[in-house]
Amino acid sequence: MRIDVHSHLVFLDYLMYLTGRSSLPQGVLEGGTYFVSCIGGYRHASPLSHADAEAKLRSMEELGIGLSVLSHGMPGPELLGGDEADSWASRINDHLASVVAQYPGKFSAWATLGWGSAERTIQEIDRCVNELGFPGVYLFSNINQQTLDNPAFRPVFKHVAKLGVPMNMHPTAPLNMNGIDERPLVPGMSFMFDTSLATVRLVMSGLFEEEPDLKLIVPHTGGFVPYIRGRVERMIDAWTPPAEWPPLSQPAHDYFDKIYVDTVAHSPEALAYCYRRYGPEKLLYGTDHPFAHFGEYNVMGV
């Protein structure tokens, strides 16, 4: 069975809620598309069609996909902060669970996290994994404009590692929007930089040193990570971490080798390189449906 690990289905109730806010994140409905202005200066578009599970099923049939693991995607509830974020994360997960139940055997889902507090986030992970049957959690490349190595997030990552489920990372409103003044620069480049920065900082912070069995999926064939590894690994190996990060007992190469990537490449050459770099064991099928031109290059026959 072909399993798509990178497939989005938005929750319209959440987008409708954002249209009623007077502060960021704040949405507006224009011509059948929700536009959400996010913290960090990014404006994200979600057409109403992105909430259509029936349309997704038709596309899955065309591509021969047996199962899609759904994620709500951007904008995430963590942008709200506090109890509001945690409450909406639970509502989004209930919606995803209802779609999974409505179409048996066709869908699974990644757990959406609110990050309002570490305690409630951990509780929601347990509920999603143990009660709703979700296979893992959905992780954005930054959490409300904070890098993932922030110590406040560490207990959540350690809990995920303890459960033995994967974290599937996805870009969000980027940390850096300087010079990113035209739309092709954001999804075309800045998204990839944000996931790459998050991945490298997690390696440098010693997360994989402390949790060697933690499974991290980096989308879009790993962003820039596969191509900069040689250079950044040498820099890390010659570097002394700050006191708050544990020293790395292995070469950086060993930690980067733990990462999984998906097949959302937009280029057969890039996909072929990642296949050679990571092998079939670490390269997971993904389409980025309904955003990408998902049928052309996202194939495993490389």
pLDDT confidence of residue 299: 40
pLDDT confidence of residue 41: 86
pLDDT confidence of residue 40: 83
Residue 169, SS3 per DSSP? strand
Query: Using one digit for the tens of pLDDT, what is the confidence trace for 39-90?
Result: 888 999 999 999 999 999 999 999 999 999 999 989 999 999 999 999 999 9
Asked if 139 and 172 touch (Cβ cutoff 8 Å), the reply is no
pLDDT confidence of residue 39: 85
pLDDT confidence of residue 111: 98
* Cβ-Cβ contacts under 8 Å for 75 (sequence gap 6 or more): 18, 25, 36, 38, 44, 172, 173
Q: What are phi and psi of 176, to 5 degrees?
A: -120, 120
Low-confidence ranges of the chain (pLDDT < 70): 292-302
Quote the pTM value: 0.94
Class level of CATH domain 3-10+52-289: alpha beta
Cα–Cα distance measured from residue 288 to residue 217, given in angstroms and rounded to the nearest whole number: 14
Domain boundaries, the chain: 3-10+52-289
Which residues sit opposite 58 in a β-bridge? none
Q: What is the DSSP letter of 49?
A: G
